[in-house]
Each structure stands twice: as structure tokens, then as C-alpha cells.
Amino acid sequence: NAGVTQTPKFQVLKTGQSMTLQCAQDMNHEYMSWYRQDPGMGLRLIHYSVGAGITDQGEVPNGYNVSRSTTEDFPLRLLSAAPSQTSVYFCASYGRIYGYTFGSGTRLTVV
Amino acid sequence: AQTVTQSQPEMSVQEAETVTLSCTYDTSENNYYLFWYKQPPSRQMILVIRQEAYKQQNATENRFSVNFQKAAKSFSLKISDSQLGDTAMYFCASLITQGGSEKLVFGKGTKLTVNP
């Protein structure tokens, strides 16, 4: 089925560890984005990309890196995890026909 | 700056009754879209309904309808004949196209509980 695939679904990290959240879409969407969801805060935009090779910062980019080498993939990297990055992360892609399609989310806990 | 405000952190309704969730937004753009998303306990973000700003007619999807007041920048969601499966977080969001990129901005959400 066409859509956005996020891995992993759950992750526990120790402070200072690094990891990459994977996101892939098969809808040939140019636009992809990462959000974090915290209680009482809604979803906040971390980084986004309007196409391969192009990325830009959203509302809360600090502590996160992204790259977009292909249309399909948009990984989110935490270089040195902090407890403040404990959150649920959503990847989304956007196309004019179907609008936004969200992945199923990654629940990240940093201890 | 683009902002979306949901003033009701929590709401409850009896099964089969009607409930309205409020949303206001602020944008200087003329061309934008508005959405309501549902997030059940499964965490999946599900599109409920969307409205194009240039359309005056309010969008409707089965039991879900919106009251779009462009001048007041208001976009409320009405759920008719509420069902237990409607229990979820509901997020209002606005999408603008600016400089060739689209940005989706969310409100903080309303937790809706449908009681039997």
C-alpha cells in the first residue's frame, strides 16, 4: 500500500547516544517533513524538504539534522540525544492530490 | 507568522449527540487550506475533513462538517450523531504555500471523549 513508512516504532536511548529515525514514502512526493508531538503542544515542525538535496528548518530544529539524498527517503538524525527530545515523532509527505500523509509515528524515550 | 489556536483542551459528549470543536487561525496569506485531523489512541493521524479557503461552501464528510468563517478566521468542526469511535484527539491545522514550499501548522489539540 502506498504511504509513509517510519521505523522504528519505539526506541529508548541513553543521554548522549545518537540514532536515526527512518522515513520512506512511495508516492513520489517532493515535500516531506518531520514533526514532534508533545503533550499539550500539538505537532511542531522540526525540519522539512521540498525535494532531493533541499532541506530547511522548521519551528524546533535544534538538536536534529536531516538530509534528502533521494525523493523517497528523509531520515532524521539525533546526534547527541537529550531527555528534552523524549517525544513522539511523525514523518509526513505532501502531495496535491491526497494532501498530507503521515507515518505511524516513533515513540522515543531518552533516559 | 501563522498560528492555529484550539481553545478547548478537553471536551466530552454523550453518544448520539452533537459536539462542536473550535479553532481559530491567523494567516496573512489569501490562498490556504484548513484541516481537521483525528488521532485515536493508535497514534495514527487521520484526515477528517479539509476546506479550501477560496471556497465559501462549508465542507462536509458524512457526520463531520465545518463552519468556516473566513473573515473571522474561524474553522470549527461539528460532529453529529457522536459515536464511541470518535473518541480521540482532534487537531486543527492550516496549510499555506509560501515561496514554493508548503507548511502545515497545528493547533495544540482537543481531547474528545464520547460517553456511552
d(Cα A100, Cα B15) in Å, to the nearest integer? 30
What residues of chain A lie within 8 A of the CB of B93, using their CB?
A: 43
Cis peptide bond upstream of B116, omega within 30: no
Kindly report, residue by residue over B14-26, the tens digit of the pLDDT: 999 999 999 999 9
Per DSSP bridges, beta strands B110-115 and B10-14 are: parallel
What residues of chain B lie within 8 A of the CB of A45, using their CB?
A: 103-105
Average pLDDT along chain B: 92
Kindly report, residue by residue over B13-65, the tens digit of the pLDDT: 999 999 999 999 998 888 889 999 999 999 999 999 999 988 889 999 999 99
d(Cα B107, Cα B94) in Å, to the nearest integer? 9
Q: What is the pLDDT of residue B79?
A: 98
Q: What is the pLDDT of residue B69?
A: 94
Task: Select from B16, B12, B116, B20 the least CA-distant residue to B64.
Answer: B20
Task: Select from B116, B97, B95, B113 the least CA-distant residue to B105.
Answer: B95
For chain B, what percent of residues have pLDDT higher than 70? Answer: 97
Q: What is the pLDDT of residue B27?
A: 85
Decide if A100 and B104 are in contact by the 8 Å CB cutoff.
Answer: yes
Closest by Cβ to A42, choosing from B35, B47, B109: B109
Residue B36: strand pairing partners: B49, B92
Q: What is the pLDDT of residue A100?
A: 87
Best mutation target, A37, A46, A56, A91, to test chain B (most B CBs within 10 A): A37
Q: What is the pLDDT of residue A99?
A: 80
Cβ contacts from A onto B, under 8 A? 51
What residues of chain B lie within 8 A of the CB of A50, using their CB?
A: 100-101
What residues of chain B lie within 8 A of the CB of A58, using their CB?
A: 103
Residues of B with CB under 8 A from a CB of A: 4, 6, 9, 33, 35, 43-45, 47, 50, 91, 93, 95, 100-109
Q: What is the pLDDT of residue B100?
A: 65
The residue ranking higher by pLDDT, B100 or A56, is A56
What residues of chain A lie within 8 A of the CB of B108, using their CB?
A: 40-42
Decide if A99 and B47 are in contact by the 8 Å CB cutoff.
Answer: yes
Residue A43: strand pairing partners: A37
Q: What is the pLDDT along chain A (111 residues), one digit of tens a residue?
A: 569 999 999 999 999 999 999 999 999 999 999 999 998 888 999 999 999 999 999 989 999 999 999 999 999 999 999 999 999 999 999 887 768 899 999 999 999
Q: What is the pLDDT of residue A102?
A: 95
